[in-house]
């Protein structure tokens, strides 16, 4: 199917499980000087890009904060769990919830007294965990982190739904795709929808430039090279994904 300028519905690109190391990887320095009008000043993607960088930095702060709290909880309290042993299983099984305790008890046919002790032990550990979590604001920190990544993901979607009006806009989309390739994406179709969006921008800009400068061979050659590169990358990725699925 031929690509249209904007017929692709983009899947959500989200990174709830973003690793802190990936969050620290620097992006391409795509900037526009605020003191003078730049070639991309009229591009609608530029303010979205600036907002994305702000949200990304904010989400990274929340992510690191939650990781520090989680590390403290693991060291000071430990994850609530009980070990259920059986005469036929020397290793036993670890249960991390009351429901899993019940399943293990049924599998091992534990006496009622042992079952009650296991549940009591787990409840005491969970109470200590909950008390420390409340004191530290652990759940609120986790909620803030998740909400921050959702806001960043919404801006990511907005960038790729928006038509680039200049080559700066195309450069921003490519820089963002590089960032997402490094950090990872929950979108199973990534990066094909984003590549299609960027390729549509290049095609549209090429047609505009050809209309303005019909006899400028260098312009056609340069923009055509970008278009072919994006097209080849898209096809290579599609071929690789097809090969993996076989």
pLDDT at 216: 63
pTM of the model: 0.67
Tens digit of each residue's pLDDT (9 = 90 or more) over 155-168: 999 999 999 999 99
Burial bucket for residue 225 (CB in 10 Å: 0-12, 13-18, 19+): exposed
Nearest Cα residue to 94 out of 110, 82, 86: 82
Q: What is the pLDDT of residue 44?
A: 95
- Lowest pLDDT segment from 48-52, 82-86, 171-175: 82-86
Average pLDDT score, the chain: 79
What is the reported pLDDT for 155? 96
Ranked by mean pLDDT, the top range of 6-20, 48-62, 83-97 is 48-62
The per-residue pLDDT for 26 is: 39
pLDDT digits (tens, 9 = 90+) for 193-221: 999 999 999 999 988 888 887 766 665 66
pLDDT at 187 exceeding the cut of 70: yes
Give the model confidence (pLDDT) of 1-39 as tens digits: 444 444 433 433 334 333 333 333 334 445 444 434 454
pLDDT over 90 for what percent of the chain? 54
Rg (CA), the chain: 26
**Closest C-alpha among 5, 1, 3, 9 to residue 193:** 9
At 105 the pLDDT is 87
What pLDDT does residue 213 have? 75
The C-alpha angle 198, 177, 67, rounded to 5 degrees, equals 150
Q: What CA–CA distance (Å, rounded) separates 166 from 122? A: 60
């Amino acid at each position: 199917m031929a690509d249209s300028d904007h017929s692709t519905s983009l899947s959500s690109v989200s990174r709830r499980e973003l690793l802190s190391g990936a969050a620290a990887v620097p992006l391409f320095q795509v900037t526009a000087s605020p003191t003078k009008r730049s070639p991309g000043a009229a591009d609608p993607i530029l303010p979205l890009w600036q907002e994305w960088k702000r949200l990304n930095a904010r989400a990274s702060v929340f992510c690191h904060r939650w990781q520090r709290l989680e590390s403290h909880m693991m060291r000071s309290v430990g994850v609530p769990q009980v070990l259920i042993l059986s005469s036929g299983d020397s290793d036993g099984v670890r249960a991390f919830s009351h429901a899993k305790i019940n399943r293990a008890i049924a599998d091992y046919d534990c006496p009622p007294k042992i079952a009650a002790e296991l549940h009591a032990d787990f409840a005491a550990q969970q109470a200590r965990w909950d008390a420390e979590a409340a004191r530290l604001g652990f759940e609120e920190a986790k909620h803030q982190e998740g909400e921050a990544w959702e806001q960043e993901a919404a801006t990511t979607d907005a960038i790729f739904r928006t038509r680039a009006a200049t080559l700066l806009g195309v450069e921003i989309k490519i820089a963002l795709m590089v960032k997402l390739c490094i950090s990872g994406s929950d979108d199973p179709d990534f990066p094909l929808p984003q590549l299609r969006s960027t390729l549509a921008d290049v095609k549209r800009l090429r047609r505009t430039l050809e209309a303005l400068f019909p006899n400028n061979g260098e312009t056609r050659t340069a923009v055509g090279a970008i278009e072919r590169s994006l097209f080849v990358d898209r096809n290579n990725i599609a071929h690789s994904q097809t090969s993996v699925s076989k």
